[in-house]
Amino acid sequence: MALNVKKDEAAESGSAFIDAKIEELGDWRGKMLAKVREIIHAADSEIVEERKWVKATNPGTPVFSHGGIVCTGETYKNVVKMTFAKGAALKDPAGLFNSSLEGNTRRAIDIHEGERINEPALKDLIRAAVALNLKSQNKPKSKQKPRSASGKRAD
């Protein structure tokens, strides 16, 4: 029971942090972050909002999770960035990913002022990210063959 309380408190503080971030921005970025948040929750009602990577120089990053990190919702001077933790493993038929394309793991969507979001495609991407997280979570850990004294695997 105490574990659930701690998890609920973490989610509550994550939500409060995102609320405050939207309020603090007070411009198009706040409105866009609120819109992205709305789309994320419409895509998956079990999304949990978190605050991660808090440092003395950074108040933290808004994170949306279900079975692991789905994406972040970062705001910069000229862009709202959604970084998908396992984006490189996701199919993106609508071509939403437009940033961090060279990496092996993450992919991002940079949204600039005045841009419209392809909501159906973004919802599909979010659902695919959740499905990948849940599939990875339920996958049995592969057992490696024992190594011999020489450090080579025994076959």
**Paired sense of beta strands 61-65 and 80-84, if any:** unpaired
- Judged against a pLDDT cut of 90, whether residue 80 lies above it is answered with yes
Q: First-to-last CA distance in the chain? A: 46
If 0-12 CB within 10 Å is exposed, 13-18 middle and 19+ buried, where does residue 60 land?
Answer: middle
Q: What's the pTM value of the predicted model, to 2 decimals?
A: 0.80
* pLDDT tens track for 100-151: 898 899 999 999 999 999 999 999 999 999 999 999 877 665 555 555 555 5
Alpha-carbon span 94 to 125, nearest angstrom: 9
The amino acid at residue 15 is: S
Top-tier CATH class for 2-134:
alpha beta
